[in-house]
């Protein structure tokens, strides 16, 4: 198990600092970050906390998983590595290949 934790179902009022303060009750927090939408800057309702040792991470999971914060039951577990995203281009055809955009007949 690693030292990095996933924290889900966070209230939108939570901040990086409040997350750091809360998890500081279980040990030394190396980093605490709430993930935000890049367009609006609003919290996505989850974040990551990195504890200094594996023992502190385990203690934080035991202490905070299922705990209520502002009426929301937190999900705290070991963070998994991000999986690579599939596809590309977002057009459904495997990418933008262009094509003939002029009307009529092509002349070579």
What is the token pair recorded at 16? Answer: 């990086």
Domain assignment of residue 89, yes or no: no
The pLDDT of residue 5 is 98
| Integer Cα distance of 75 and 60 in angstroms | 11
Q: What percentage of the chain exceeds 90 in pLDDT?
A: 72
Domain assignment of residue 55, yes or no: yes
The pLDDT of residue 47 is 98
Domain assignment of residue 85, yes or no: no
Domain assignment of residue 74, yes or no: yes
pTM equals 0.76
The domain containing residue 57 runs over which residues?
Answer: 4-78
CATH at 28: 3.30.70.330
Q: What are the residue ranges of helices labelled H in the chain?
A: 16-23, 54-64
| Integer Cα distance of 34 and 47 in angstroms | 4
Domain assignment of residue 93, yes or no: no
What does the buried/exposed string (b/e) look like for 69-90 if buried means 16 or more CB atoms within 10 Å of the residue's CB?
Answer: beebebebeeeeeeeeeeeeee
The answer to whether 89 touches 96, Cβ cutoff 8 Å, is yes
Domain assignment of residue 96, yes or no: no
Torsion of CA 55, 60, 62, 64, to 10 degrees: 180
Mean pLDDT of 10-25: 96
Number of domains in the chain: 1
pLDDT band at 81 (very low <50, low <70, confident <90, very high): confident
Domain assignment of residue 94, yes or no: no
| Integer Cα distance of 9 and 50 in angstroms | 17
The pLDDT of residue 87 is 73
pLDDT band at 82 (very low <50, low <70, confident <90, very high): confident
Domain assignment of residue 47, yes or no: yes
């Amino acid at each position: 198990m690693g030292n990095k934790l996933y924290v889900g179902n966070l209230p939108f009022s939570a901040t990086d600092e409040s997350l750091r303060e809360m998890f500081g009750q279980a040990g030394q927090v190396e980093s605490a970050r709430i993930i935000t939408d890049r367009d609006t800057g609003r919290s996505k309702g989850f974040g990551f906390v990195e504890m200094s040792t594996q023992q502190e991470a385990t203690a934080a999971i035991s202490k905070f998983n299922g705990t209520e914060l502002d009426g929301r039951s937190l999900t705290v577990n070991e963070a998994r590595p991000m999986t690579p995203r599939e596809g590309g281009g977002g057009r459904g055809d495997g990418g933008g290949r262009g094509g003939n955009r002029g009307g009529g007949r092509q002349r070579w």
